[in-house]
Amino acid sequence: MAFVIEHMDGPLYEWSFIEYKHAASAIGREELWVTNLSRRGVERISPFASAYTKKAHQLLDINTLCVLDIDAEETLTPARASRFTHFVFGGIMGDNPRKHRTSSLIPGAKRFNLGKSQFTTDTAVMVAYLIKKGVKLGEMHFAYELEVNVEEGLSLTLPYHFLVIKGKPFVSPELIRHIINSHSF
């Protein structure tokens, strides 16, 4: 079984790199694959996940996998997840309004949504991982957006849904530091 992030953004931006690392630390190194990377991307990702230059459809039988796509008609449930061994996500930075780029990921594969709100890629991996473990979407808690305090009197709002675990948003502390350090006003 594996949770597969197909990198789709060209350069491996620091934001994506941090999200992929966070997903791996949450679900375990053995269960996270990152595909469609450059050779340099493979070098960077390999210490914490299985990393490939190939695309997911070149590594896997299409019948064993499903794609997680907000635009899919059906929602992933524990019963539906039990039919698949591999769960494929778009390694795409969130956009608002959305450009629906996940629709180009493995045409012909079975697809499910995780609800109709956009998650960051690492959050989507964690939500699907919990569903595969038997937790229903309705049993999880979410925050509708995340406010990052950049400095006194200045904050940024990330317009994505975040999973809340034990009262804390599921977000990498390294990503918060990256956002604070890379914004100049």
Ligand X SMILES: C[S@@+](CC[C@H](N)C(=O)[O-])C[C@H]1O[C@@H](n2cnc3c(N)ncnc32)[C@H](O)[C@@H]1O
Binding site for ligand X (CB under 6 A): 68-70, 89-90, 92, 94-95, 98-102, 113-115, 117-121, 124
Residue (25 or 103) nearer to ligand X, CB: 103
CA distances from residue 106 to 1, 83, 109, 159 in whole angstroms, order as listed: 18, 18, 6, 27
Residue of closest CB approach to ligand X: 90
Residue (80 or 101) nearer to ligand X, CB: 101
* Shortest Å distance, C-beta 154 to ligand X: 24
Residue (98 or 168) nearer to ligand X, CB: 98
End-to-end CA distance of the chain: 44
Residue (51 or 70) nearer to ligand X, CB: 70
Give the containing element (helix H, strand E) for 62: none
DSSP 102-141: GGGSSTTSEEEBSSSSPBPHHHHHHHHHHHHTT--GGGSE
Residue (85 or 117) nearer to ligand X, CB: 117
* Shortest Å distance, C-beta 151 to ligand X: 26
* Shortest Å distance, C-beta 56 to ligand X: 11
Q: How far is Cα 164 from Cα 129, in angstroms, rounded to an integer?
A: 15
Residue (23 or 51) nearer to ligand X, CB: 23
* Shortest Å distance, C-beta 88 to ligand X: 7
Residues 6+ positions from 153 with CB-CB distance below 8 Å: none
- List the structure tokens of 52: 């490939």
* Shortest Å distance, C-beta 95 to ligand X: 5
- 75: DSSP letter: B
User: Amino acid letter at 17?
Assistant: F
* Shortest Å distance, C-beta 46 to ligand X: 22
